[in-house]
Structure 1
Amino acid sequence: MSIPVETFFLNPEAQGTLQAQIQQMIAQGILSGRLRKGEKLPSSRKLAGHLGVSRITVTLAYTELQASDYLESRDRSGYFVSNNAPEPPQFAARHPRQDSIDWSRALGRKFTGGATPVKPRDWWSFRYPFVYGQTDPSLFDHANWRHCALRALGQKDFQALTTDYYDNDDPQLIEFIARHTLPRRGILARPEEILVTMGAQNALWLTAQVLLTQRRTAVAEEPCYHALRDILTQSRCHLAPVAVDRDGLPPEALPESADVIFTTPSHQSPTNATMPMGRRKALMARAREMEALIVEDDYEFEMSFLRAPLPALKSLDTDGRVIYVGSFSKSIFPGLRLGYLVGPEPFIREARALRASVYRHPPGHIQRTASYFLSLGHYDSLIRRMGQVFARRRKVMEEALAGHGLGVAGRGVFGGSSIWMQAPDGVDTGELDRRLREKGVLIEPGRPFFHAAEPPGSYYRLAYSSISSERIPEGIARLATELALMR
């Protein structure tokens, strides 16, 4: 690889001859790792013209660096960073810096400090990854996704690939969502009532920004999706956690001051509780009575492999009270970052304007690729295949958990991809997680899902979406052994 000539510049405050400055500039680049071994340097003529010095000055600098084994010369090819180049630093930093800014005062707002779990990036290298929300390569439809991506790159879709939609979306994807995805949840919506987002989390952020102020109160389930709690905290609204039970969010426990209610009725996150139809109707009536809005995060409704899911809250909405959040990221692959919002046109109009001021719209090529994957039936085939595999894995996991007498705190009525667990009293699942990693087992401690200042440490989540059925029993056995030791 050739190093661009624009990479090099002389420091106007540097001391010494031009030749010495060029030598130091290149040597520092090598020692800092910016210039890597085997990379080709610009020709002496090109670098001299770029720096405004004579060619002989650059040639002499290259020759000295070659003598010091920083560079090597190859016949008729020029100079390259030597494979034997010294690695220990020889120079002080060119621009030593000591910040004089008091960032504790300069920052107008802080967005750090949330409880987002830290998951290893190399989770796939663990033999027993009970990790939630990742793609199992053995299930993903590589061939058809690649085919759809190539089709979206074709001349026919040139406009979809290259157009700046401003604040709009790919009409082909919007049409599929309106005509195929939403009707499966009992929802009818016009294109003006649908907005494509960068995943469900982005949809929740847009919703919170549009609906909440410092004077309004948001209800969040306890426990809840940790990223939602961070979003609501950052919005500076009044946050009212409401504990869920085996049927999800209890309407009678909602505070009178609630303005916006965030809920996950199909698969409560993280307990997997499913809200029955009677409670759904009661929640709608209670929200209407309080003149509150409801934000329904309908994640994982596709993973209903035990029986058909209940209709979405949005399908019961007769007065435009429910904002619906959906996503393709969990069911296709999380790196897709593609979700959608459904709501009354005045709300979508404001969310669209906010989105446009942040990132305009999700990339057109991604939207068109997804629309092909959906419309050609590949998505439905993927969901069916995942449902069949998840059903087998869940059965194996439940048998293993029962065999070792481990405590299950919640499992999805219709399916899902995880089981909510509770360890014996006195066991801290954060410590349990650290100890299990040494044995090749990954679990998800439950603390980040709770709002309390001192959240309970005994809960944890086990997902079966990223681990094969064959490895589940041994993974659970290692978990049970470690729990027994910690008890």
Structure 2
Amino acid sequence: MAIAVDTFFLKPDAQGTLQAQIQQMIAEGILSGRFHTGEKLPSSRKLAAHLGVSRITVTLAYTELLANDYLTSRGRSGYFVSENAPVPPSYTPTPARGETIDWSRAIARRFTGGDVLHKPADWRSYRYPFIYGQADPDLFDHANWRLCAVRALGQKDFASLTADYVDQDDPLLVEFIARNTLPRRGITARPEEILITLGAQNALWLAARVLLNRRRKAAIEDPCYYALRELLLQSNGNVAALRVDQDGLPPETIPDDTDVIFTTPSHQSPTTATMPGWRRMALLDRAREIDAMIVEDDYEFEMSFLRAPSPALKSLDGDGRVIYVGSFSKSLFPGLRLGYMVGSEPFIREARALRSLVLRHPPGHIQRTAAYFLSLGHYDAQIRRMSATLMKRRHAMEAAIAGHGLTIAGGGVFGGSSLWMRAPEGIDCGRLAHGLRADSVHIEPGEAFFSGPDRPRNFYRLGYSSIHADRIPQGIERIARAISREQSVWT
């Protein structure tokens, strides 16, 4: 029996080459049971004419499926579904029954209900996406990343692709971080003092689990990265939220019984405040005085297009009490989920053991691809390109904001990719953000970053990493107009 050519069609939103789409279409038909063993495929000429593609594209797809034993060729008769093709399982579904589990009793711990910022999946369709932390396809070096990924798939790197590292990491990536990335922050570290993580958030979780228990207290900034606060609260530990000022975390406000201090000195999240050198030394002195550890999240230091960033807090640490957290997710693309942690060897040893219990290690292929991308100079080239573009967008943001009388509450002194904004008192930025969606504008309300019951609702964040400079003035104009409308309603 022949399979009708009309059953084949290409999806308009499909990814990959035409050859890959045709291969996937036929393989899915076999795996789903729609195409049966021995059934004949349309001729390459007929299928090509039906799909509107070249005949060689269909022939190459058939050849690849033949090599993978999905299809078989019978002389001049054409291509047929192979007898060795994967057979879909045959089973009788169990009749649906009503659940009898009382999930309110069965769930021992709850992780829902905490603060989280909802980033719309369709943010790219917004005309004015002031979204933070997403990749701009015009700035990402996709071609060279693809070449590095292909190279990492080669026979030479077979072990890095397929091996179980157990609790170890890709030596090429660790070496690059030790010899190139960390020295730029004034940090010297041996491979035994470096751990690769699934982004900065994974590193923060590992640090919290190793350094804290129910009897110990953590000090965090207020406002701060909401996910850090949530993971500390979920651990049932004692958490002190300390309000930051224009210079970041004030050391004198840290309680005497603090065991671990979490801070973002180079680029405070979300206010973007940069901690000056004198305060960094004061923070180290305070930590030494109360014998506390410090976890330094050094995100966005690469985006230093206004001035060079200050040396990392870790570089000033002579006691080994600072745990340094870095990430490639912000500077490359957030879906990469690749970061690193630097600390004294006893700490890294425990963090490595904990990581191996949870996920063993980040995927070897991702690590090796990143190592090639970094070591071949593509990363530095991308950072230079991004910095030049972000500077242009930053200037456009500041000019438009000043022109419409909006208030910047914080802007990183060395750069970054966002501005921390303050709306007039009485403005609910959650409601403001919701109303702006109809105008194709996305902003991020700031309430989730604050701790405690009486959180300010008139702060919001404007990211400029994913909006073109020529659209910034119109977007800011719409925000100013929406704030004016909210004010008139409130008054």
TM-score, scaled to structure 1: 0.82
In structure 1, C-alpha distance between the alignment counterparts of 2:199 and 2:385, rounded to whole Å: 23
Three-state SS of the structure 2 residue aligned to 1:267 is coil
For 2:46, the equivalent position in structure 1 comes to none
- Whether 2:121 is the aligned partner of 1:121: answer yes
For 1:241, the equivalent position in structure 2 comes to 241
Three-state SS of the structure 2 residue aligned to 1:371 is helix
For 1:469, the equivalent position in structure 2 comes to 469
- The within-5 A match list for 1:6-45 is 40-41=33-34, 43=36
Deviation for aligned residue 1:125: 0.7
Deviation for aligned residue 1:105: 1.9
In structure 1, C-alpha distance between the alignment counterparts of 2:95 and 2:229, rounded to whole Å: 41
Structure number with greater Rg is 1
For 2:280, the equivalent position in structure 1 comes to 280
In structure 2, C-alpha distance between the alignment counterparts of 1:386 and 1:189, rounded to whole Å: 28
* Residue type at the aligned position of 2:214: Q
In structure 1, C-alpha distance between the alignment counterparts of 2:422 and 2:294, rounded to whole Å: 29
Three-state SS of the structure 1 residue aligned to 2:137 is coil
Q: Relative to structure 2, which stretch is displaced further, 450-459 or 210-219?
A: 450-459
For 1:260, the equivalent position in structure 2 comes to 260
Residue 482 to residue 36, structure 1, CA distance change in 2 (3 Å)? farther
Three-state SS of the structure 1 residue aligned to 2:227 is helix
CA deviation string 1:339-371 (max 9, x = no partner): 001001111011101100111100000000000
Deviation for aligned residue 1:448: 0.7
Three-state SS of the structure 2 residue aligned to 1:95 is coil
For 2:351, the equivalent position in structure 1 comes to 351
For 2:450, the equivalent position in structure 1 comes to 450
- The within-5 A match list for 1:39-78 is 40-41=33-34, 43=36
For 2:306, the equivalent position in structure 1 comes to 306
Three-state SS of the structure 2 residue aligned to 1:301 is coil
Residue 476 to residue 97, structure 1, CA distance change in 2 (3 Å)? same
- The within-5 A match list for 1:84-103 is 95-103=95-103
- The within-5 A match list for 1:189-204 is 189-204=189-204
Deviation for aligned residue 1:453: 1.7
In structure 2, C-alpha distance between the alignment counterparts of 1:126 and 1:163, rounded to whole Å: 42
Q: In angstroms, what is the RMSD of aligned CA positions? A: 2.0
For 2:218, the equivalent position in structure 1 comes to 218
- Determine if contact 2:38/2:80 at 8 Å carries over to the other structure: no
Q: Relative to structure 2, which stretch is displaced further, 452-461 or 167-176?
A: 452-461
Three-state SS of the structure 2 residue aligned to 1:120 is coil
For 2:291, the equivalent position in structure 1 comes to 291
CA deviation string 1:304-331 (max 9, x = no partner): 1111110000001101100000000100
In structure 1, C-alpha distance between the alignment counterparts of 2:260 and 2:95, rounded to whole Å: 50
List alignment gaps of at least 5 residues for structure 1: 1-34, 47-75, 79-92
In structure 1, C-alpha distance between the alignment counterparts of 2:481 and 2:94, rounded to whole Å: 54
Residue 38 to residue 486, structure 1, CA distance change in 2 (3 Å)? farther
* Residue type at the aligned position of 1:394: R
In structure 2, C-alpha distance between the alignment counterparts of 1:280 and 1:352, rounded to whole Å: 28
Residue 112 to residue 469, structure 1, CA distance change in 2 (3 Å)? same
For 1:26, the equivalent position in structure 2 comes to none
Three-state SS of the structure 1 residue aligned to 2:231 is helix
CA deviation string 1:52-86 (max 9, x = no partner): xxxxxxxxxxxxxxxxxxxxxxxx989xxxxxxxx
In structure 2, C-alpha distance between the alignment counterparts of 1:399 and 1:156, rounded to whole Å: 52
- The within-5 A match list for 1:289-438 is 289-438=289-438
Q: Relative to structure 2, which stretch is displaced further, 156-165 or 294-303?
A: 156-165
For 2:56, the equivalent position in structure 1 comes to none
Three-state SS of the structure 1 residue aligned to 2:271 is coil
* Residue type at the aligned position of 2:34: L
List alignment gaps of at least 5 residues for structure 2: 1-27, 40-78, 82-92
Deviation for aligned residue 1:39: 5.9
Deviation for aligned residue 1:425: 1.3
Three-state SS of the structure 2 residue aligned to 1:349 is helix
In structure 2, C-alpha distance between the alignment counterparts of 1:196 and 1:448, rounded to whole Å: 28
For 2:162, the equivalent position in structure 1 comes to 162
- Determine if contact 2:161/2:364 at 8 Å carries over to the other structure: yes
Deviation for aligned residue 1:148: 0.6
In structure 2, C-alpha distance between the alignment counterparts of 1:41 and 1:476, rounded to whole Å: 53
- Determine if contact 2:433/2:443 at 8 Å carries over to the other structure: yes
In structure 2, C-alpha distance between the alignment counterparts of 1:396 and 1:294, rounded to whole Å: 37
For 2:134, the equivalent position in structure 1 comes to 134
Residue 350 to residue 477, structure 1, CA distance change in 2 (3 Å)? same
Three-state SS of the structure 2 residue aligned to 1:485 is helix
Deviation for aligned residue 1:37: 13
For 1:209, the equivalent position in structure 2 comes to 209
In structure 1, C-alpha distance between the alignment counterparts of 2:480 and 2:29, rounded to whole Å: 48
In structure 2, C-alpha distance between the alignment counterparts of 1:473 and 1:45, rounded to whole Å: 62
For 2:64, the equivalent position in structure 1 comes to none
In structure 1, C-alpha distance between the alignment counterparts of 2:37 and 2:173, rounded to whole Å: 53
Aligned residues: 411
Residue 380 to residue 41, structure 1, CA distance change in 2 (3 Å)? same
Identity %: 65
CA deviation string 1:276-320 (max 9, x = no partner): 000000000000000000000000000011111100000011011
In structure 2, C-alpha distance between the alignment counterparts of 1:138 and 1:385, rounded to whole Å: 10
* Residue type at the aligned position of 2:216: R
